[in-house]
Amino acid sequence: MATDLTTAPQSSPVLDEAVRRRTFAVISHPDAGKSTLTEAMALHAHVMEEAGVTHGKASRAASISDWGEVEKERGISVTSTALRFDYRDVVLNLVDTPGHSDFSEDTFRVLTAVDFAVMLIDAAKGMEAQTRKLFDACRRLGLPVVTVINKWDRPGLEALELFDEIQAATGRTPVAVNWPVGYAGRFTGLLEPGAATYVRHEVVDSGARVAREEAVDGAADRGLDPGIWLEAVEGAGVAAALNGTFEAEQFLAGEQTPVLFTAAAGNVGVRLLLDFLTQHAPAPEQRRDVSGASRPLGSDFSGYVFKVQAGMNPAHRDQIAFVRVNSGVFARGMELHHAQSGRPVSSKYAHHMVGRGRHTATASWPGDVVGFVNASGLHVGDTIHAGPSVTFPGMPRFDPERFRVAHNLDAAHHKRFAKGLSQLEEEGAIQVLRDANGSPGGPVLAAVGELQFDVVVDRMRREFGAEITLDAPLGYDRSLPLPASGVAQMASLPGVEVLYRPDGEAVALFHDRWRQARVQERFPDLFPPRT
Ligand code: GDP
């Protein structure tokens, strides 16, 4: 029989590898259990002998010692790494997002590098401020979201109540992939809606090993209180009757969010989550370049920088550009170019990022993350490629909400001050704005959250030897990009100030959101609604 070449599935090493990839981020409000779940996933994937090596509060204190001072002092994660592990025949790339609510801009950038997100919710708290923000970011980026309700071993909200909250806050319909049998201290297992059996787990306190599980017939399980079983069957039935069941297409279109339950600290539900991700979560797909054309996965290597991190290891004084592979295969030593400048990029010192250690990359495929060490001149949003030039769209920018004038405290070192700020601006750690006269009194640093300023002051001192001080915040707490045609109009309005980015683009600052809303209403042509 003749093969129909138009419909025959294509096969190539690149496509075979791409199909095996799941590249995602776990997003949550701080303390929902992101680190714990990450450890538990890695444990299941046998990356580590014991959970707690890479993350976890106890080990975290020890392992952050070579990270930024601010991070050390505050014990919070302000940086992103990529963790790669094999699970069954799938490669999971877990791109870590900073957990602090001030870092939404940074987090947003990381989300551009993943194909879906796992939203982790604390069963006792439901949707929290940061969860909502992250969910909005996923919507803006068109990312499918898998929801995980964690800490089911603790007293919390009712499952159906949580479903209502998710629906109201996200607009996506939560559909149960599994349903808990019992809750809090009597959390016994997970039931697939409609099934007669459930996966019963043992309780593992320390989380140091995978929980033993077995499939048992719920109605015949003598160890299980029949009331608990009936309640679970009923709950799952109500959820299915109200919201329906999992439909792959609706999930990928962002209309549904599949929901799974876990007690990550005891490694419960983690295997079912991993199985679900390998079976149903999207593999990397073709990405569009600036011209709008889809770049086939099998074409020459291309990738883009979603994060630049300096000062990860003071002993090396290095800077790492994290690159998501969009097409082709990457191998060390290959000839690469930086699309924005046309200059060659050295691939000699490229690494996979695994936990916080580095492993030398031999080959990477679409969806993988590669760290380019000391590749100066690489900025967030830039494209790297082999073969003919291709450029992916730059990084979407967040509109800053905090503004402070920066002063150089050491006039003899003006160069360091200027260089440091321009480097941090290029990295996307902060935005640097100036007025039409070049801000002789000091540039305005613009951030999404206050903590970003602390990081910048600290990094200016440590990495650039520049002591800086910041004035009290300016009285603006909203901003929007402004087309050149609107500059004169905006500059004449009370309660609005116009400043400029280094690339000359204008930004309008507003005293507050009411002022912004009124101006937007009056000048819809200058500020078209954004999705
Ligand atoms: P992160 O800030 O989101 O990374 O949260 P962590 O993973 O550090 O977890 C915050 C706290 O919740 C820690 O004390 C964890 O031990 C605890 N925790 C995480 N998952 C669970 C769980 O499933 N059950 C219970 N009881 N505690 C959990």
What is d(CA 499, CA 508) in angstroms, rounded to the nearest whole number?
Answer: 7
Say how many Å lie between the CA of residue 126 and the centre of ligand 1: 14
Q: Read off the tokens for 47.
A: 């990356």
Rounded (10°) CA dihedral 168, 401, 309, 352: 20
Does position 497 have pLDDT exceeding 80, yes or no? yes
Among 157-161, 175-179, 201-205, 286-290, the minimum mean pLDDT is found in: 201-205
Residue 484's nearest CA partner among 508, 468, 450 is 508
Q: How far apart are the first and last CA of the chain?
A: 49
The burial of 364, by beta-carbon neighbours within 10 Å (0-12 exposed, 13-18 middle, 19 or more buried), is given as buried
DSSP result, 208-232: -SPPPEEEEETTT-TTS-HHHHHHH
Ligand 1 pocket, Cβ-based, cut-off 6 angstroms: 28, 30-36, 57, 99, 150-151, 153-154, 263-265
pLDDT above 80: residue 141: yes
pTM reported for the whole predicted model? 0.82
- Cα dihedral 240, 241, 246, 249, rounded to 10, equals -160
Look at residue 448 and give its three-state secondary structure.
coil
Instruction: Taking the CA atoms of 27, 29, 30 and 36 in sequence, report the sign of the dihedral they define.
Output: negative
Probe residue for ligand 1, chosen from 27, 28, 29, 31 as the CB with the greatest number of ligand atoms within 8 Å: 31
- Rounded to whole angstroms, the Cα distance separating 113 from 109 reads 7
**Which atom of ligand 1 is least distant from the CA of 262?**
23
- What local confidence, expressed as pLDDT, does residue 67 receive? 35
The alpha carbon of 34 and the centre of ligand 1 are apart by a number of angstroms equal to 7
Residue type, 376: S
Closest ligand 1 atom to 150 CA: 23
Sort strands 145-150 and 116-122 into parallel, antiparallel or unpaired.
parallel
For residue 319, which phi and psi values (nearest 5 degrees)? -135, 135
Q: How far apart are CA 330 and CA 385, in angstroms?
A: 9
CB 123 within 8 A of CB 117: no
Cα–Cα separations (whole angstroms), residue 336 to 14, 216, 349: 18, 55, 13
Q: How far is the CA of 255 from the centre of ligand 1 (A)?
A: 29
In the DSSP assignment, the letter for residue 263 is B
Ligand 1, atom nearest to 268 Cα? 23
Residue 39 Cα to ligand 1 middle (Å): 11
Ligand 1: residue whose CA is nearest its atom 22: 151
Q: What is the mean pLDDT of the chain?
A: 85
Residue of the CA atom closest to atom 24 of ligand 1: 151
* Closest alpha carbon to 75 in 95, 56, 53: 56
Dist CA 269 CA 40 (whole Å): 10
Nearest-atom number in ligand 1 for the CA of 154 is 26
Ligand 1 centroid to residue 365 C-alpha, Å: 32
Q: Which band of pLDDT confidence, cut at 50, 70 and 90, is reported for residue 104?
A: low
As a whole number of angstroms, the distance between CA 260 and CA 99 comes to: 21
CA of residue 248 to ligand 1 center, whole Å: 30
Atom 28 in ligand 1: which residue has the minimum CA distance?
265
DSSP state letter for 357: E
64: confidence class by pLDDT, cuts 50, 70, 90:
very low
Domains of the chain: 21-280 (3.40.50.300), 294-385 (3.40.50.300), 402-522 (3.30.70.3280)
User: Is residue 92 within 8 Å of residue 441, measured between CB atoms?
Assistant: no
ipTM over 0.85: yes
pLDDT, tens digit (0-9, with 9 covering 90-100), for 323-374 = 999 999 999 889 999 999 999 998 887 776 554 444 555 689 999 998 887 7
Closest residue (by CA) to atom 19 of ligand 1? Answer: 33
Residue 268: name the closest of 338, 357, 202 by CA.
202
Q: From the CA of 208, how far away is ligand 1's center (Å)?
A: 14
- Tens digits of per-residue pLDDT, 369-401? 988 877 777 888 999 999 999 999 988 777 899
Atom nearest to 32 CA in ligand 1 = 3
CB–CB of 257/201 below 8 Å? no
Q: How far apart are CA 28 and CA 151, in angstroms?
A: 13
Ligand 1: which of 26, 28, 36, 81 to mutate, most ligand atoms within 8 Å of CB? 36
Cα gap 505→483, rounded to integer Å: 8
